[in-house]
Amino acid sequence: MHQDLNTGSNTSVNSEALENHSAETLVDSIVTASAKRPVCLTCSFQAEDMIVLHLLRKHLPALPVLFLETGYHFRETYEFRDRIAAEWQLNLVNAIPKKTVAQQESDFGILYREDPAKCCQLRKVEPLMESLEPFDIWFTGLRREQSPTRKNLKKIEQHRLPSGKTLLKVSPLADWTWAQVWEYTGKHNLSYLPQYDQGYSSIGCEPCTALPIDPANPRSGRWSGKKLECGIHTFSERAE
């Protein structure tokens, strides 16, 4: 029994059928079925996000690209974001927290050390959930292999935002391996964050990103190994 997911157009998407499709075919199918519906991509400019962005821009050159402007990113990440935004003429949307870094640190201290979950909530989760409100379809670069917390990820899911709004969450690379990511990156000559060449396998805010502790777990260098998710992909609940 398959599930048809209504994209808001006159066409529904058979989620189970698309699970076995290639990333490119899945993107083509979703974009075609959701013509004129508001679509976005959350993008940290890591290698996976660059691939999904590359696939989407073939259809949607003015696609809103949501970047979580936490104020704590690596200098190299900001430089890379700005270079790619200029070169690819991106419709870059910076999701900005309510408080600046200085205001937050004045009010709460250094949260990324004392309470990283709260820091992520204030600087990532809340700004993104608000930024997703105008959209019906949300593309991500998530992969099952990235973390044990993502092992059951489906390529197409319905997610409910805290406001109650439901949107289609699409992860075209869900079944990709790390080797496939770099094969595509090389084949299409895509630029990538320079931190990868330093040994990083998952790149977020600078204070909470280190070289991986466990080579088999790419996200084991995040948050000193104390947690694996910032909350973005767990705070928006699946709408079964």
Among residues 119, 205, 208, 230, the one annotated as catalytic is 230
Angle, helices 23-33/47-57, rounded to nearest 10 degrees: 50
Strand-pair partners of 158 = 168
Q: Determine contact, residues 117/227, Cβ cutoff 8 Å.
A: yes
Phi and psi, residue 148, nearest 5°: -55, -30
The amino acid at 1: M
Q: Which residues of 98-111 are buried (b: 16+ CB within 10 A; e: fewer)?
A: eeeeeebeeeeeeb
Phi and psi, residue 41, nearest 5°: -130, 130
Residue 205 bears catalytic tag: no
- Rounded to an integer, what distance in angstroms lies between the CA atom of residue 116 and that of residue 34? 37
Q: Which residues are catalytic?
A: 230
